[in-house]
Chains A and B, each alone.
Chain A
Amino acid sequence: GGIITQTPKFLIGQEGQKLTLKCQQNFNHDTMYWYRQDSGKGLRLIYYSITENDLQKGDLSEGYDASREKKSSFSLTVTSAQKNEMAVFLCASTPGTANERLFFGHGTKLSVL
């Protein structure tokens, strides 16, 4: 079995700050995703990557940058944190072949003061 590790678990930032969230997977999966979940709502895709150095924008990419320098890691940067922003960021991965599902990390909870 494998695991997806997201760091940090909790992130508190200041308005305007640049914040980076990290995700590591040891499944050797090709495809990785970043989703944002606001309280009581569904998951919205920010970025995804089907292989090392590949980046594809999702529906919510504005205000974010992503980086996939290694197959095992996918990082997300909030370029300028918004005041009172509060959300959970979920990282996921999949082999990318047919009939495979997503495996999720436990999330990073962001609060902006």
Chain B
Amino acid sequence: AQRVTQVQPTGSSQWGEEVTLDCSYETSEYFYRIFWYRQLFSGEMVFLIYQPSFDTQNQRSGRYSVVFQKSFKSISLVISASQPEDSGTYFCALSEPDRGSALGRLHFGAGTQLIVIP
């Protein structure tokens, strides 16, 4: 069964617009984290932001922020003032602790390919 679901396979926006990318997940753990990564066209994975389950505040990092709806097990990535350089594939990942490792297994969604039009 899919642990992490990203229902939007593709998305687009105009330069300067705010973009929202959605992600839902399944877990029975109390402590977990959700990460967002962007994959560049070169294949390189770039870390963007993460949200710990125990923190009720939505995390922010520069132009990236999240909308965390814990009771619905959903989290959205919001990119403000999108730029053409933001184009790429965005992955949501669920981290559940495992034995001695706080990060444990990461389960990735299928990704959303975003194109920002100049």
Could you say which residues of chain B place their CB within 8 Å of the CB of A48? 105
Please determine whether B102 and A98 come into contact, CB atoms closer than 8 angstroms.
yes
Interface residues of B in 103-118 (CB under 8 A from A): 103, 105-111
Q: Is the interface of B mostly helix, strand, loop or mixed?
A: strand
Q: Please report the total number of A residues contacting B with Cβ < 8 Å.
A: 30
Could you say which residues of chain B place their CB within 8 Å of the CB of A104? 44-45
Q: Please report the total number of B residues contacting A with Cβ < 8 Å.
A: 26
Please determine whether A31 and B101 come into contact, CB atoms closer than 8 angstroms.
yes
Contact of A101 among B4, B44, B50, B108 (CB under 8 A): B50
Q: A83 contacts the other chain (Cβ, under 8 Å)? A: no
Contacts A42-B6, A50-B99, A102-B45 supplied; 19 other A-B pairs, CB < 8 Å: A30-B101, A31-B101, A35-B108, A41-B110, A42-B4, A42-B91, A42-B108, A42-B111, A43-B91, A44-B108, A45-B105, A48-B105, A56-B98, A94-B103, A100-B103, A101-B47, A102-B37, A102-B106, A106-B44
A-B contacts, 18 of them at CB < 8 A, read: A31-B101, A33-B106, A41-B110, A42-B91, A42-B108, A44-B108, A45-B106, A50-B98, A50-B101, A58-B105, A90-B45, A94-B103, A101-B35, A101-B103, A102-B47, A104-B45, A106-B42, A106-B43
